[in-house]
Structures are given as C-alpha cells and as structure tokens.
Chains A and B, each alone.
Chain A
Amino acid sequence: MSEMLLAVEGLTKAYPGVVANDHVGFGVAPGEVHALLGENGAGKSTLVKMIYGLVRPDSGTMTWRSEPYKPATPHDARKSGVAMVFQHFSLFEALNVAENVALGMEDPPPMGQLAERIRDVSGKYGLPLEPHRLVGDLSAGERQRVEIIRCLLQDPKLLIMDEPTSVLTPQEVEILFQTLRRLSAEGTAILYISHKLEEIRALCDAATILRQGKVVASCDPRERSARELAELMVGQTLHRPSRAAAEPGEVVLDIDGLSVESSSPFGTALKNVSLKVHAGEVVGIGGVAGNGQDELLAALSGELSSHPTAIRLHGRDIGDQGPNRRRELGLLAAPEERLGHAAAPDMSLTENAALTGMIRERLAGRGFINWGKARRFAEAIIADFDVRTPGPENAARSLSGGNLQKFVIGREILQRPEVLVVNQPTWGVDASAAAAIRQALLDLAARGAAIVCISQDLDELMEISDRFAALNEGRLSVPRPTHELSIEEIGLMMGGAHGMEVAHVEA
C-alpha cells in the first residue's frame, strides 16, 4: 500500500438522518483506473466530494502520497493535483470554450496562450475542440470535453469523473475511453464513478463497491461478471424487466408534421416530427442530449403549443391545448429535470403530488385543494413505488435523485395514463430503482397504455422499447423495430460520433 497515490481510511460523514459514508476505506495507485460503484444514495457522491474538498468528513483520514490530506476547499484539492468532472456541467453557454476553461482555472494565462494550450491538450488526447466556439453551440459530448480539458490543463494526478458517459453516444464513449486509457498510461489515476457495469468492466483496473455508505467489496471488475457486480452493488438478486409479448393496438397518439421553436435561445427546434404510437406499445426515442428531447417532451406535455392538428390523441386535435387539458384526456408526461421541472424542490411531496395529480385525481373541488386527498395520493405513490422518505411532508429536494425519480414516474403512472411520455426516466438512478421504473413502464404498456420513452441510455431503450427512433438536430428518424437493430446502427441513427468528425481545423 506504500505506492498509493490516495489512501482513504475510516472516512465517515453523517447528515441528519443518514450516514452517507460509514468508515469507508480504499486506495488508488498512480495510473490506476479505479471504479467507484454503487447505487444512488450509496454514498459515492459524498465520498468524492470529500476527496475534492467540497464536504468535510466527520472523522477518518486521507493520505496523499503518504502525506496527510485534508482539503478544506476544492481550491486546496486542485493544488494537490485532484481534478473533477461533474455529472452536471458547470459551463456558461454564452461564453466560448476558452473563456469557460479560464473561468475554472486557478490563474488562467492570457486568452491567446490559453487557446494554444487548449489546442495542444485536445490534440494530444484525441479530444478535438475549437477554443473559440460558443459552448451553447456544442453537443453534450463536446461540452464534456471542455470540462475534461479544463481539468487536464491543471495537470492532475487524480481525475475524478462522475457518471461521464450518460450523455454520450456509443462512439463518443469509445473516444472518451481511449482518452482515459491514455491518461492512465501516462500515470494519471482516474476515479470513475458509475453504475454502468459493462463500462466499468471494460475500463477499470479496480473497483470499490459501496452500499448504504459502507464498502461491501473491493475487486478487479474484469474478473467478475456484470451480474455479480450488480448483485454486490444492490445486495440482492437483480430482477430483469420483462413482459409478455402483445399485439399493439390501435393508434392512440398521432404526431403528424410537428414543428415548434424552442422556448430557450440555445434549444433545438423540432422539425417536421411524425410518429404514430399504438396502444400497448413502447416507442423508444434515442439521441444525444440537446437534439430536441426537451422540446419534444414540452410539445407533447402541452408546455409548448403547436398547430392543433400536429398532435392527435384518439383522433382529437390537441396540438394547441395546455397541459391540464391533455391530462384530462389521458396524455401524461414526466420531464427529465426532476428538480425545478417535474417537481418543485422546496415544496413537500404532498404539494408535488398535487402538481400534476390535480386533474385526474380530482384533488380540487370548486377551486379549493383537498390536501388530505393530495396527501393520500402522495402516500400511495411513496408506498407503491418504494420511495424512501420519512413521509410526504418532506421537501422534494431532500430526496435522493433515484427516489425522487421513482416519485415523479410513480405520480404519473398511478394516474392511469392512456399515453405516457417520459424523458430520461432513469437518468442518474441506481440499478435497482432503474429496473423498478422500467418494469413499471412495461407493466403500464401491458395494461394497454402507449408509452413514448425519450432516453439517452441506449441499453434502456434496447431493453424496453418495441420500436426505436432517434432525434438528431430536431428531426426524428423513421422508427424501426428495436429487435432488428444493432447498437452500431442505432449509433448511426443518432448521428454517429456526434460532431466528433470535426477534427483540428488548424494545428
């Protein structure tokens, strides 16, 4: 263990009500790609936040090259040589790449020099990136590169990556892995947080598995099967979503030539999107983030208004109807962004249950809300979907991502939708919660509902959808039966290595 770059021992951090990390210990050697594996709420984020100086441990020690390591701020951590790429990017869309990189650096060099260095580093690691492009115009994969390059310019000894592949196409994932392998070969250690088991098996040298704040196993992921890893992570035998094959019914939702502008300046307009969704069918819509997914959801939920005939539900024109009218008719939706869109962060779960349940659950009479009924509805969601929370009076933001997602999806499913549109139903959700959500969607389809599942997780779409279509720059491809498609074909439908073929414009 004397060769360890970073060694963590007995690290404990408790929050009111939960012990996020309970005597966690592991070590990372120089040049090692070390996986941190665990369900949501297992304590991975807290652990890396302590390493990155964002959170202070209650007890326990960290050593950095055999010296005591106690970062009080991310600034201290960066000085020691720790860099981190967050799951959610912290970039300014209205600034260009070089300016964004400069904002995250300790003492940025002049712009000209910085642009030069960005080109150097991006060339060296096979991450083509033009320093003068606006971040608002970049794809998610390219934005991630901005974050990675920002880290690499600091010449880190340890690079922490939090769920980096959730926004990438398969081709982009391969490019990222090549970069990470090259970094590792040069001696940079990588702490790789994920719950995607195949990725970890392909990339990592060692894995530490966390469950409920404790280390439950340390192993070489290449020597274990994905199933074994999953069961270590979840602590139980994993259930694979399944359903009986059924003949699709009549067309319920008919999207015909839907074109809408985005409401945000950096959004993507939908261009002539057409799709027929049958009762009992799951249509999966893939695509790299930022290709119109948010707009498609908004156009279907009723937040974006379109031409009346562009969307038909049971033959009725609803393109110009608002969200509540669509709910009345049976079209429900669950947006991607849990906090602030699907749910109001500071409001209680009861209030959040009323947020969409008001109409179909008849939570209001003559304009007055029946809070007792709303509370019972929230309790039903919590019970049926195994949402872990002390009770419905807790604020939505106090729930972990996976639990809140179960609540959001459960809230719509319990309202017996005829059509359910979901965007990223399992984004940032742990394996067992994701399996539960997918099973719930399949069960719903089996009961005759039509489901549109927008997702960037291809494994998920392959697993649950009957037909697959991809969004690329606001255009929807022709849907094809999923079982006929290979992952490579899907990648190409999504636009290949999105924007990746743009290599160096100049050396």
Chain B
Amino acid sequence: MLRLEKRPSPSRLWTGATPLLAVLLTMLAGGAMFALLGSDPVVAIRTIFWDPLFGEFAFYYRGQLLVKAAPLILIAIGLSLGFRAGIWNIGAEGQYIVGAIVGAAVGLAAYPTESRLIFPAMILAGAFAGWLWAMIPAILKTRFNTNEILVSLMLVYVAEAMLASVSSGLLRNPDGMGFPGSRNFKDYPAAHNAFLIEGAGVHWGVVAAMIAVIFAYVLLGRHVLGFHIRLTGEAPRAARFAGVNPSLLVVVCLGISGALAGLAGLFEVSGPAGQISIDFNSGYGFTAIIVAFLGRLHPVGILLAGLLMALTYVGGDAAASALGLPSAAIQLLQGMLLFFLLAVDVLANFRIRFGRTEAA
C-alpha cells in the first residue's frame, strides 16, 4: 500500500521538480488522448511542445509566444500576491476588460491628435480603471465582510456586459459603417502599442510583464509588505501578532492585482487585439489564475508557467490547423496540465512510503 508521510520541511528538490514532472505526465496522457483521436501522438506532442520553439517556423511562433505570455504573466503576478496572502481575486478578467475599455477610451477620445503623451495617459488610465474595479470587492470585503471570490467573479459579468455595450455603442468606430468595434489602434500611431522590435513579439506589455516579475520578486523577497503578504498566507494569527492590518492588506493586494490586470487589458487592446470589440479579451484573466498556480505563486515560476501556457496555446493552434485536432482536445490538454500539477504537488510536502497494512 502507498502511504503519504508529511515532510518536516517542504522538499526543495520536489518543489522545483514537480512542474517538470507534471509537464511530462501531461505529454504522456495527452499523447494517449491524441492516439485515441487517431493522430500520431509523437507528431502531435512535437507540434505542440517542440515546433513552436525549435521548428521550421519558430521565428514566427516565438514572437507569438511572448505576445500570448505577456498578459498572462502580468495578470498572474498581480494575482499571486493576493493568493499568497489568502485573498482570492477571481475577477481579474473583469479588471482586465475594464482597464482595456477605459484605457482605450482615453486614446480614442484624443483621436486624431498626435502626441507622445497619449499612450502613457492610456497606460495610466488602464491601470487606474483596473485598480478601481478591484476596489469594489476590496471595500465590500473590508466594510461588510463580503466574499471577495463571489464579488470579483460577478463583476466579470458586469464588465463583459459593459464591453458588449461600448463596443457597439459608445466606442464604436464612427467610420466603421455600423459594424461593432472601435477604431483600430494600428491606424493611430500615437495610441498604438506597436512592437518595439519588428518581428520579435516584444511590445510594451512584454516589457511591463518583465518589470512586474522583477518587482514581485523583490517585493516578496526583500520588502516588509511582501513579508507581510507571505506571513498572512502562512499564518493569519501570526500576521496579526506581527502587526499586519488585514483590511489594509486586502485593499493593497486587490489593488495591485487589479491595476496589473487593467494594464494587461490596455496593452492587449491597443496592441495585438488592436481594437475594442466584443471578444477582444480571449479569457486571459481566467487563464492567469492557472498560470499563477502553475508557477507556484512564485514570480520566476509564473514567468515560466506563462511561457508554457502560451506554448500550449500557440502550439495547440498549430496542431489544430496542421493535424486537424479538435480545439476541445487542446483545452483538455491544458486541463490535464493543471490536474497533473496539483496531483504531483503533494510530493513537495509529503513523501511516499511503500508498506503493507497488517491487521493486528
């Protein structure tokens, strides 16, 4: 019989090794699934995990990887701070949408003025709007002790309704012949989040994601606030004893994650998506939750997890078109990844013992 025995301290080795093991198991189980669907498992796995990085068209895919990974990383970094402290912002998608709408609105309001200040103003507006949207669950929680999971989640649907409304109403392109969707920022250089290096996939959102990773790393490792965040998550009573104000921490953590999600939305709408439309958002706010946990709520882990998740998107799209795999199978693969990660997670805190049970 297998038994689990709690380790006296979490194993460093396994904390690092479990994500790799989870990826490996996902490849095995995913391969089996693809085989059942009638594809060559080796080719399918290679198309998803290998070709985008090292294949013939890698030069194109690598850029795509950064474009997909940046918003995931940016949002996940913000979420991880709250998650570390046991503050569950599930509504990053909403903050991301609202950040995009308000940021885009600032840019569109200035159209067609050309000024260097427009894009920075959009960035500030996007971050501020995301922050403001996150303040709703924060204040409701600290004032009325509501559940931030529910409030932030429900606000996603409010944000989606707002997006639908503005993309066919307030922000609709006046020259768009009645089609829903705003002006395209690609045609408005002052507000366009263009690639900084052509073809490399690096836009301001990627830069911001990198800065966020470093910022979070320093915050958690060196700063008193990061220490208080970790302490609150590990032992809430000890945190109070250490003088942490739990309400303030809720406001700060939700605020940071909201602002970063808003930023991600702004960079997405003004860059890769190009315009406010009813479906510009592509669900990054929810996927980022997976990325945050996949990266073990650690900044560097999130960086890697964001890239890995982007790889399954980019590689999955490639496999869907090249091998005719159904997109549901790709989603299943992403689900497997999370499942295996959580399953092998237990190895970090427990060791497996083999032994028989005997009746006394």
Contacts and interface: CB of A to CB of B under 8 A. Distances in A.
Interface string A296-330: 00000111000000000000000000111001000
Interface string B166-183: 000000000000000000
A475 interface: no
B233 to A, nearest CB: 9
A341 B9 CA distance: 19
Contacts of B327: none
B269 to A, nearest CB: 34
Contacts of B245: 322
B216 to A, nearest CB: 15
A265 interface: no
Given A301-B241, A324-B243, 8 more contacts: A70-B360, A303-B240, A335-B241, A341-B237, A369-B227, A395-B10, A397-B8, A398-B8
Contact of A69 (B10, B234, B241, B360): B360
Contact of A15 (B8, B225, B357): B8
A331 B355 CA distance: 52
B224 to A, nearest CB: 5
Interface residues of B, number: 25
A368 B219 CA distance: 9
B237 A356 contact: no
Contacts of A80: 360
B224 A367 contact: yes
Contact of B227 (A324, A337, A341, A354): A354
24 contacts: A16-B8, A69-B360, A71-B360, A72-B357, A73-B357, A79-B360, A322-B245, A323-B240, A323-B242, A337-B237, A341-B238, A342-B241, A346-B234, A347-B234, A355-B231, A355-B238, A355-B241, A368-B222, A368-B223, A369-B222, A369-B223, A395-B9, A397-B9, A398-B8
Nearest to B9: A395
Given A367-B223, A368-B223, A395-B8, A344 B238 contact: yes
Counting chain A residues whose Cβ lies within 8 A of the other chain, the interface size class is 35 or more
B230 interface: yes
Contacts, number: 94
Interface string B340-356: 00000000000000010
A15 B8 CA distance: 9
Interface of B: 8-10, 222-225, 227, 230-231, 234-235, 237-243, 245, 355, 357-360
B237 A340 contact: yes
A347 B360 CA distance: 39
Given A346-B10, A369-B222, A395-B9, A355 B242 contact: yes
Nearest to A357: B242
Contact of B231 (A71, A344, A364): A344
B231 A368 contact: no
A367 B224 CA distance: 5
B4 to A, nearest CB: 13
B351 to A, nearest CB: 10
Contact of A344 (B10, B223, B235, B243): B235
A56 interface: yes
A37 interface: no
A340 B231 CA distance: 10
A254 interface: no
A216 to B, nearest CB: 26
Contacts of A64: 360
B214 to A, nearest CB: 15
A355 B223 CA distance: 13
Contacts of A356: 241-242
A126 interface: no
A343 B241 CA distance: 9
Contact of A322 (B227, B243, B357): B243
A25 interface: no
Nearest to A78: B360
Contacts of A71: 360
A303 B224 contact: no
Given A323-B241, A341-B235, A367 B225 contact: yes
